[in-house]
Amino acid sequence: MSQNEFQSQEVVSSLEQGLARDGFRLTRARHVVLTAMVELGHPFSTGELEQAVARVDGSVGRASVYRTLALMESRGLVEKLHRSGQEHYTLCLKAEHHHHVTCVQCGRTREFALKDNIDLLSTVDGLARGLGYLPRSHVLEVYGVCPACQKLAGPHA
């Protein structure tokens, strides 16, 4: 646990360094929101984020939660997940283009890149070209049961 807290703080300060590098100020509010995001450790709704922030520091205003969320999203460090009933957001630690596998039971996500699978990436583009489109981008989200939840459920998953 203290191990986890240690890692969390490292993640938070690396995010903060990124902000500072681009001329954003390191403020108490941002620190608190980032800490809350990292400590949640899994995709969160805006409501969950608000609660987590309040737990860390009740003096941070609601508006700052949304402002920081928007800031991180605009920098590609937080992404919206699709197909969850309610919109959820997740921290992205990989810089490059990537996708998510979301566990339909515990809700945790895992990032993956397609570099090992160049076929897939080029197939998606090729598919668009086959329809006469000029490919620009795509969204691919995968849903399944993660290894941990499979174990919990027993062999008849």
Partner DNA sequence: CAACAATTGATACGGGGTATCAATAGAGGG
Partner DNA sequence: CCCTCTATTGATACCCCGTATCAATTGTTG
Residue closer to a second copy by CB (options 9, 123) is 123
Q: Does 131 bind a second copy (CB under 8 A)?
A: yes
Asked if 79 contacts 89 with a C-beta cutoff of 8 angstroms, the reply is yes
Q: Which option in a second copy, DNA, none does residue 83 bind, with CB closer than 5 to 8 A by kind?
A: a second copy
Distance CA 157, CA 145 (A): 9
Confirm or reject binding of residue 75 to DNA (CB under 7 A). no
CA distances from 42 to 37, 80, 84, 126 (A): 8, 12, 13, 33
Give CA–CA dist 134/65, Å, rounded.
38
5 binds a second copy (CB under 8 A): no
Q: Is 144 in the site for DNA (CB under 7 A)?
A: no
Residue 8 contacts which entry, DNA, a second copy, none (Cβ below 5-8 A, type-dependent):
none
